[in-house]
Structure 1
Amino acid sequence: MRRRRVLIPLLALLLLAGCTGGGSPARDDRAPKGSRWQPEPGTAWQWQLSGTLDPDVDVPVYDIDGLDHPASAVADLHRRGRKVICYLSTGAWEDFRADADAFPASVLGRGNGWKGERWLDIRRTDVLEPLMGARLDICRDKGFDAVEPDNMDGYRNRTGFPLTAGDQLRYNRLIARLAHDRGLAVGLKNDLDQIPELVDDFDFAVNEQCAQYDECAQLTPFVRAGKAVFHVEYELPTSRFCPASRELRLSSMLKKYELGAWREPCD
């Protein structure tokens, strides 16, 4: 798995019961199709999952950990004119999250390479749908505009479960529906092989290292559909991927593995 990020312990202030973390009133509206936020190709962005949040990057979109940040941080970014994406894991269990004990052992698989994380048995939607719905409620209630669900390609990894491509399609579409029911736009994280089947279900894409692995052309269905592709590289200099990114209309930047505030955008 190529995802690179630093895991940040969850503050005790977060409760699974839909805590808003900053006192903002819960939003119970459901946005009809067509009224959700729809980022366009080439939209600049900032992705910060570690360190003290820097709200001063002059871009229209921020992607931050949805369970680590309070509603007040989202509101502050909104006041600065940003749209805000809620990062959370939907395909892996994390032992440092407030809801960790709510996951039965039967749905926990192999470790996914990151301390404290294990793949989930995405076939068990009877268990996972209410748990993921509760996490998405937190994103909604804090005022996020969209969600970035991570670990969405377990079927291509050694999870400990006999997951199929069909299992992954069903689960990814479930996550997209749950997000849309809450008025949230939703991005497809990596899972390049299933883009043709999933592009209509998701509002944008988030990708890591498609240039390093010569895969960026696989993201063009999103661009053709008028949907942004938020893309990062970690190891290549910008001179190696920015020209192609501009041609493909990707929203690309160079980041360090810890996904702190530092960025070097292609624009």
Structure 2
Amino acid sequence: MRIRPVCAVPRSRPARVRRRGPRRGVALALTALLLAPVPACREAVTVPPGAPTPWPAALADRWRWQWQLTAPVDVTVDADVFLLDPVATTSTETAALRAKGRRLVCQVRVGTYATGDPDATRFPAAVRGAAVPGRAGSRFLDVRRWDSLAPVLADRFRLCRGKGFGAVALADADGYRHRSGFPLGFDDQLLFNRRLAGLARQLDLSPGLVDDLAQVAALAPDFDFAVNQECVRRRECAKLLPFADAHKPVFHVEYTGDPVDFCVTTVGYGFASIRKDRTLDAWREPCPLP
């Protein structure tokens, strides 16, 4: 598939109209200040069938992205990269996006499971831990039990590959920081996450790390990109610099605050930033490209 040149694609616009108050004029002014003329079109990148998604270093700070976990997927959103739920997303939707040259990332929860998951019964009782706060029916997994978890997670990755995804974002990869019901340590999580990155590559998927900022410095060499939630609000954006400094994409989202304020920080760091609702539906408000 091919990524269309930036100069041939119009600016992103919200998937649905939503009033956000009087800041629209200020946002337009910020856009005018931050946007610089693009000297040339984006280089087209061809991805052979069955290959993991490549992330050219020259484009690390220029990706336009969308994160939607609701259904149906709005395939008309003007973004280069789509982070989607591999179960809820249909093969028809992924085919439509691939036909437009979009890069597809599936989100897979690797440290938790939900009772409603199609494969929930495949997790042995011994690996099922404490309830995940705020998520009814979800429980932590014992990430030390690689032999028990690997076959199930490998099939989750294969589902992504089968639906046309070229990359996988590993969510809930920080159980050691929570009361999981198991005595998980920093090193237990580090080993598990590295094993998952290797498993993804074996299955022709580019691995990405969701949050887990405390381990970014150690894991950045093992992963191709990062996904972060609210590093501005939490004042933790500098922890993601091992990815940005290595010219790897950082896909960042804030759920509160005015993009007029946080875009200045995150675009300066080289992140691809958007404002989203916590429901992660189709609406988005992207930061301007650098």
TM class by shorter-chain length? 0.7 to 0.9
Tell me what 1:44 maps to.
64
- Consecutive unaligned residues of structure 2, counting only runs of 5 or more, are 1-48
Structure 1 counterpart of 2:162, one-letter code: D
2:151 to 115, 121, 130: 130
User: SS state of the match for residue 88, structure 1?
Assistant: strand
Select the structure of larger CA radius of gyration: 2
2:234 to 192, 213, 219: 213
Tell me what 2:190 maps to.
169
Structure 2 counterpart of 1:263, one-letter code: R
Mapped contact 2:64–2:79 kept (Cα < 8 A) = yes
Shift of 1:51: 3.7
- Residue 169 of structure 2 is aligned to residue 148 of structure 1: yes
Looking at structure 2, the residues matched to 239 and 79 of structure 1 have their Cα atoms a distance apart, in angstroms, of: 33
Structure 2 counterpart of 1:171, one-letter code: F
Looking at structure 1, the residues matched to 193 and 180 of structure 2 have their Cα atoms a distance apart, in angstroms, of: 16
Shift of 1:235: 1.4
Q: 1:36 to 1:264 in 2, by over 3 A?
A: closer
- Residue 103 of structure 2 is aligned to residue 83 of structure 1: yes
Looking at structure 1, the residues matched to 244 and 62 of structure 2 have their Cα atoms a distance apart, in angstroms, of: 9
Mapped contact 1:209–1:231 kept (Cα < 8 A) = yes
Tell me what 2:216 maps to.
195
Looking at structure 2, the residues matched to 160 and 241 of structure 1 have their Cα atoms a distance apart, in angstroms, of: 36
Shift of 1:30: 7.0
> TM-score when scaled to structure 2?
0.79
- Aligned counterparts, 1:1-267, within 5 A: 31=51, 36-38=53-55, 40-113=60-133, 114-267=135-288
The one-character-per-residue Cα deviations of 1:114-145 (angstroms, maximum 9, x if unpaired) are 11110100000010011111111111111101
Q: If each structure's helix is expressed as a fraction of its own residues, which one has the higher value?
A: 2
Looking at structure 1, the residues matched to 70 and 91 of structure 2 have their Cα atoms a distance apart, in angstroms, of: 17
Shift of 1:41: 2.7
Mapped contact 1:42–1:229 kept (Cα < 8 A) = no
> TM-score when scaled to structure 1?
0.85
The one-character-per-residue Cα deviations of 1:8-65 (angstroms, maximum 9, x if unpaired) are xxxxxxxxxxxxxxxxxxxxx875xxx7422623311000001421011111111110
Mapped contact 1:67–1:88 kept (Cα < 8 A) = no
Count of residue correspondences? 236
User: SS state of the match for residue 199, structure 1?
Assistant: helix
Looking at structure 2, the residues matched to 93 and 86 of structure 1 have their Cα atoms a distance apart, in angstroms, of: 16
The one-character-per-residue Cα deviations of 1:200-243 (angstroms, maximum 9, x if unpaired) are 10000000010001000111110111100000001121122110
Shift of 1:75: 1.1
Looking at structure 2, the residues matched to 81 and 53 of structure 1 have their Cα atoms a distance apart, in angstroms, of: 16
Structure 1 counterpart of 2:127, one-letter code: V
Looking at structure 2, the residues matched to 248 and 42 of structure 1 have their Cα atoms a distance apart, in angstroms, of: 12
Shift of 1:157: 0.7
Structure 2 counterpart of 1:122, one-letter code: V
User: SS state of the match for residue 196, structure 1?
Assistant: helix
Looking at structure 2, the residues matched to 164 and 84 of structure 1 have their Cα atoms a distance apart, in angstroms, of: 32
Structure 1 counterpart of 2:271, one-letter code: L
Looking at structure 1, the residues matched to 264 and 50 of structure 2 have their Cα atoms a distance apart, in angstroms, of: 40
Structure 1 counterpart of 2:171, one-letter code: D
Tell me what 2:45 maps to.
none
Indicate the percent of aligned positions where both proteins have the same amino acid.
Answer: 42
